[in-house]
Amino acid sequence: MRAAVALDVGRLEVQDLELAPPGPGEVLVRIAASGVCHSDLHALDGTLPVPLPTVLGHEGAGVVEACGEGVRRVAPGDHVVLSWVPSCGSCYYCRIGRPDMCDEAFAIQIQGSLPGGGMRLSGPQGPVYHFLGTSCLAEAAVVAERSVVRIAGDLPLDAAALVGCAVTTGYGAVVHTAGVGKGASVAVLGLGGVGLSIVQAARLRGAEPIIAVDRVAKKLELARRFGATDVVDASATRDVVSPVLDLTGGRGADFAFEAVGRPATIEACYAMTRKAGMAVVVGIAAPHEEIRLNAFAIPAASRVLTGSWYGRSRPEEDIPAILELYRAGRLDLDGLITRRYRLDEVREAFVDLERGELARGVVVPKEAGVRTSADGPARAQV
C-alpha cells in the first residue's frame, strides 16, 4: 500500500508500507480522495509537533473494504468520510455534549495511534504513526469505527473528502460556535478551504455584509463567488482593520473569524469585532505562539473571544447534513478544489499549498471505479 510518509521534519516521501488488517472496532477504508490541509503542512514542517514517521492526511473519503470484529455502524461497500475527532462518547466532554473537546481524541492525536493504542502501519524503517487517527494520504487506511461517517453512495468522493476537515470546520464555526444569524455582519481573515467555507456558511445564514480578507487576488475573487459582499486585499495594506470598520458603520463586525493561525491576524480579528461582538479563532497557530490584547478593552469592549475546533461539530450529524446542502446546490464544494494530484505528486501539492495558491488541493490515489466530481455533479443543477 502506497502512502505519503513524513519521515522527518521537512522530509515527505511516497513509500510502500505494510497495512495490517483492521483489529476489533476498526475499519479498512480504500481511500478515494484526500485533501491537503494546513495541519498536514504544519505536521511536516514541525510547527505541530507529532510523532514521526507518520502517514499524513486527515481530510479523506473512501469506500469501506473490510471491518474488524464488532463493527456495527458500517459494512463493506459503504461510502464514508473520515473524521479526525473520533470522540469516545464517555469522557467528561463527551458527556456534557462537547465531543469536539473529547479527551481521548486529543490523546490519540498526541500519541499517534488509533483509539485503543493500535498501530497498523509499518515500513522499512519500522512502525509508522497514524496522523490524527486517519492517515489518509494513502491508497488505504485502517481507522477506528468512530473515525468514519457513512454518507450517501452517489456523491462524488473528492468533494465529500473536503467535508472531513475544511468544510465542517468552517461551516461549524459559523453555525455552531458563533450562531451567525440573518443580517449579521461578518468578517473573515484567510481564504483557504476553511475561510471560504466560513464565507459560504455566512451567506447561507443570510449574513450581510460578508467581508473577506486575504493577500491573494485569486482567493478574493473566489470569495466573491462564494458570497463575500466586500473584499480587503491584505497585500495592499498593513491595516486590514480600518477597512472592516469602514464597511460596518465604524463599529466593527458582529462576528469576525480568523482562519490563518497567526498572532497578528488573531489580534486583527479581535480588533475588527464590534463591542460585545464575537471573535472566533479557527486557524491553528504553533503551540508556542502568544497574542497581545489590551487589558482595558476586555471589559470595556466586552467582546467574546473564543476558539472553534473542528467547527464544534458532531461529525455523524453534520457531515451528512452538509453533503445534503451540496446535493441541493446550496453549498459549492467542487469550486473549492483548485487542483487534483496523483499520490506521487503529493509533494507538489504541499508546495502549492505553502505558496498560498490553493483553496484546496486534493490527492486522488486511484480513480478506478470511484466517482469524483470530475465525472459530473450528483447534485441538483442550479
Task: Enumerate binding residues for Zn ion (CB under 5 A).
Answer: 37, 39, 87-88, 91, 94, 102, 104, 165
Backbone angles phi, psi at 142, to 5 degrees: -100, 125
- State the nearest-atom distance from the C-beta of 228 to Zn ion, in Å: 22
Choose the catalytic residue: 67, 102, 136, 165: 165
Question: Is residue 42 annotated as part of the catalytic site, yes or no?
Answer: yes
In terms of CB distance, is 52 or 108 closer to Zn ion?
108
Contact 167, 226 (CB under 8 A): no
Q: Which residues, at least 6 apart from 181, have a Cβ–Cβ distance to it below 8 Å?
A: 205, 206, 207
- State the nearest-atom distance from the C-beta of 98 to Zn ion, in Å: 9
**Secondary structure element (H or E) that encloses residue 97, with its range:** none
In our burial notation (b when 16+ CB lie closer than 10 A, e otherwise), range 160-179 reads: bbbbbbbbbbbbbbbbbbbe
In terms of CB distance, is 102 or 188 closer to Zn ion?
102
Choose the catalytic residue: 34, 38, 58, 83: 58
- State the nearest-atom distance from the C-beta of 320 to Zn ion, in Å: 19
In terms of CB distance, is 103 or 246 closer to Zn ion?
103
In terms of CB distance, is 165 or 333 closer to Zn ion?
165
- State the nearest-atom distance from the C-beta of 317 to Zn ion, in Å: 16
Question: Is residue 88 annotated as part of the catalytic site, yes or no?
Answer: no
**Secondary structure element (H or E) that encloses residue 191, with its range:** none
Backbone angles phi, psi at 201, to 5 degrees: -65, -40
> If we measure between CA atoms, which residue out of 130, 170, 140 comes closest to residue 33?
140
H-only helix segments in 248-339: 263-271, 297-301, 315-327
Question: Is residue 39 annotated as part of the catalytic site, yes or no?
Answer: yes
Active site residues: 37, 39, 42, 58, 165
